[in-house]
Structure 1
Amino acid sequence: MAEFDLIARLTARAGARGDVALGIGDDAALLEVPAGEQLVACCDALNEGVHFLPGTDPADIGWKALAVNLSDLAAMGARPAWALLSLTLPRADADFVDAFMRGFSALADAAGTALVGGDTTSGPLSICVTALGCVPRGQALTRAGARPGDAVFVSGTLGDASAALEHLRPMGPRHPGEGRSDDDFPMSLRDRLHRPTPRIALGQALRGVANAVIDVSDGLLADLGHIARASGVGIELDAEALPASAALRTLLDPAERLRCQATGGDDYELVFTVPSERWETLRAIFPPEFRGALPITPSPPLAGEWAGVRGAFPAVTRIGRVVAGEGVRVLDADGVPVDFDRAGWEHFMDKVP
């Protein structure tokens, strides 16, 4: 397949928006940014052998390539609008491109995002997506606003994707259930790895409520460390409060589960801080049937492949507090710090098994 035939296959699934004045087909796109709003831009690359394993379903790769970028927009409180795709392939494989775009477009359509341009090249399999969105001027969420006394909350559950990755790796650390067949491994955990849900609706609802927000991509401790440094504070987490799915609790013993929850990446949940005077405001953003006494755990399991992308909220759980000082600590039930050999993934330092 020639390069322009490949581009035509991508263009056919690009989606459409009224604010795209000029999309795919020229040297650059022309986009209309609404008055009174700021443009929010982010860029993430996925490389074979680092971000996904060889043999991963191309549809899952397409979904995740967009999801990790929409998660960054969610952490800023932005409304996603447009995406650019740079796709590097060893060869022009029509079947791969069609499957990739099925996954990419499924999430793009659910999130109201149009593909407006990009690039195609030959080389080792690599995908880079730039996502663009908008936020009302002056209302973007950042990492730098946490203050002592804030409570720390996280959406969804933690550790599922990390457990799935360790199961799927051909080498490296395994969970205590090593040796079980893939048929026995919980599909829900693999779905969390391959098709994470960007918390777009929640991110927008947190504008004016949360002091600081970040998405959990490299690991809870690593990512909260960014908030601690940017805000000039310390953070304490309660080990027993970290939310875990039923599948993860069944699969792993408590120590391994905590390691995956605290240091495993690829969850793409939002972790954020809220001052006590806004807890009632936080509760109020959820439907009445999901409100209760803090810690907030408002939502039953979500149904549907992309439930929560735009119109539904995940569960939210209070997991700790912001304190004076620096760094992030996990405390056990007796208040004793738990030691981990790493805080999370770090490129150029960590190696992929």
Structure 2
Amino acid sequence: MRPRPSSSTPPWTASPAMPGVDAADEFETIERLFRPLAHPQWGRSLIDDVAALPSRPGHDLILTKDAMVESVHFLPDDPMDTVARKLLRVNLSDLAAKGAEPFGYLLACFWPEASGWLEREAFAAGLAEDQAKFGVYLLGGDTVVTPGPASFSLTALGWIPQGRAVARAGAAPGDLIVVTGMIGDGFLGLKAARGELALEDERIAALTAHYRTPEPRVDFALAVREYAAAALDVSDGLIADMGHMAQASGVGILIDLEKLPLSRAATAWLETRVDPIAALTELATGGDDYEVIMAVAPNAIDGLKREADARHLRLTVLGVVTEGEGVVVRYGGEIVEVTQTGWRHG
């Protein structure tokens, strides 16, 4: 562990710099960029080693953590404001899938030696924009310099009434499998950002924006809590993440590939494909969608749809929970063999 900083050291700690690196730059980053993002009361202005959270009787504190590494989770030329926004949003997506109300976050930044002030300013500006959008605050963290690629880690905190967090387990045979929004735009958005798609400029822009700044279903969290028997968000790929639910719940899941909800851009791309089954499978396994998959009892589906309609949110019934294990995929009533269900981390 690092030695405890003296009282004169800003306790959002800047780790000792590598030879040749000016440590004052790290403190300036904290003072000028991150302190304005801190919660005005519980973030303690980033001048203590900790955040002090108020207790909420009758509630559980929900925590989730994700990391992003350059050339693994984002492209080297992605704008830094969108990198920051995506980092925050993928964590908020996890909270939403549990039915939790987001509160704040802890942040760790690993800046490459070559990174300058403009990159840091853009990163902080992205966080500020989304803090205002989602009503969360920075509570503390760490900022360091690294000889490696740009890397960031964020821990999001949220509240939920005690015992009400929606788990991956809980799906039962007969439940319906439901997903919010569209599937496949994350996969296509990465291709768009890499210049690998031949679509209209408007479609390319929409897909790239989805990849860089996905929309966490924060405003649907209460509905998830009220109606879902099991839930998680789509990060690794729709089929892979349904597999996680099936395994945790000890059930099987049957889905129909032709019911996959697609955006206009994804539909335009699909129309250029020779093999629609293979193309739909790519969309269902690509990941980075950050929609919410739910197992919902049949008698609860109407209530869930009303909540979705009130938010102008598309809701699609893809299939059903069955006895057995694993995910079975059909197209036109025929079983489709899926060998790679989604992204696998090393």
Equivalent residue of 1:340, what SS?
coil
Which range is displaced more, 100-109 or 65-74?
100-109
1:327-346 to 2 correspondence within 5 Å? 327-333=326-332, 335-346=333-344
1:22 matched to 2:44:
yes
1:146 matched to 2:171:
yes
**Aligned partner (choices 35, 38, 56) of residue 78 of structure 2:** 56
Aligned-residue offset at 1:97: 1.0
1:206-221 to 2 correspondence within 5 Å? 206-221=224-239
**Aligned partner (choices 282, 285, 309) of residue 260 of structure 1:** 282
Aligned-residue offset at 1:260: 3.1
Equivalent residue of 1:281, what SS?
helix
Unaligned runs of 5+ in 2: 1-23
1:96 matched to 2:124:
no
Match of 2:32 in 1: 9
Match of 2:64 in 1: 42
Q: In structure 2, what residue type is equivalent to 1:316?
A: L
**Whole-Å separation in 2 of the counterparts to 1:161 and 1:144:** 25
**Aligned partner (choices 158, 162, 165) of residue 183 of structure 2:** 158
**Whole-Å separation in 2 of the counterparts to 1:278 and 1:17:** 40
1:291-306 to 2 correspondence within 5 Å? none
8 Å CA contact 1:22–1:31 kept in 2: the answer is: no
1:69 matched to 2:91:
yes
**Whole-Å separation in 2 of the counterparts to 1:244 and 1:257:** 12
**Whole-Å separation in 1 of the counterparts to 2:74 and 2:225:** 32
1:341-352 to 2 correspondence within 5 Å? 341-348=339-346
Which range is displaced more, 229-238 or 158-167?
158-167
Higher helix share: 2
Q: In structure 2, what residue type is equivalent to 1:133?
A: G
Q: In structure 1, what residue type is equivalent to 2:345?
A: H
**Whole-Å separation in 1 of the counterparts to 2:71 and 2:55:** 37
Equivalent residue of 1:237, what SS?
strand
Aligned-residue offset at 1:314: 2.1
Aligned-residue offset at 1:106: 1.3
Give the root-mean-square deviation of aligned CA atoms: 1.9
**Whole-Å separation in 1 of the counterparts to 2:301 and 2:74:** 38
**Whole-Å separation in 2 of the counterparts to 1:110 and 1:242:** 29
With the length of structure 1 as denominator, give the TM-score of the two structures.
Answer: 0.85
Match of 2:162 in 1: 137
8 Å CA contact 2:107–2:154 kept in 1: the answer is: yes
**Whole-Å separation in 1 of the counterparts to 2:58 and 2:236:** 33
**Whole-Å separation in 2 of the counterparts to 1:15 and 1:246:** 39
Unaligned runs of 5+ in 1: 291-297, 299-311, 349-353
Aligned-residue offset at 1:29: 0.9
Q: In structure 2, what residue type is equivalent to 1:279?
A: I
**Whole-Å separation in 2 of the counterparts to 1:257 and 1:279:** 29
Q: In structure 1, what residue type is equivalent to 2:33?
A: L
C-alpha deviations, 1:35-57, integer Å up to 9, x for none? 21100001100000100011110
C-alpha deviations, 1:146-189, integer Å up to 9, x for none? 0000001000000011012134348xxx56x4xx69x4752111
**Aligned partner (choices 113, 126, 140) of residue 136 of structure 2:** 113
Aligned-residue offset at 1:276: 0.9
Aligned-residue offset at 1:282: 1.5
Equivalent residue of 1:186, what SS?
helix
Aligned-residue offset at 1:258: 0.6
Q: In structure 2, what residue type is equivalent to 1:65?
A: L
C-alpha deviations, 1:209-246, integer Å up to 9, x for none? 11000000010011111100000000011111110001
CA, structure 1 residues 196+33, in 2 after alignment: closer, same or farther (shift >3 Å)?
farther
Equivalent residue of 2:336, what SS?
coil
Which range is displaced more, 261-270 or 161-170?
161-170
With the length of structure 2 as denominator, give the TM-score of the two structures.
Answer: 0.86
1:213-292 to 2 correspondence within 5 Å? 213-252=231-270, 253=273, 254-255=276-277, 257-286=279-308, 290=309
Equivalent residue of 2:247, what SS?
helix
Aligned-residue offset at 1:16: 3.2
Which range is displaced more, 65-74 or 254-263?
254-263
8 Å CA contact 2:277–2:331 kept in 1: the answer is: no
Equivalent residue of 1:328, what SS?
strand
Q: In structure 1, what residue type is equivalent to 2:26?
A: E
Aligned-residue offset at 1:33: 3.2
Q: How many positions carry a matched residue from both structures?
A: 316
Identity value in percent: 39
Q: In structure 1, what residue type is equivalent to 2:93?
A: S
Higher radius of gyration, 1 or 2: 2
Which range is displaced more, 212-221 or 183-192?
183-192
Match of 1:318 in 2: 317
**Whole-Å separation in 2 of the counterparts to 1:66 and 1:162:** 19
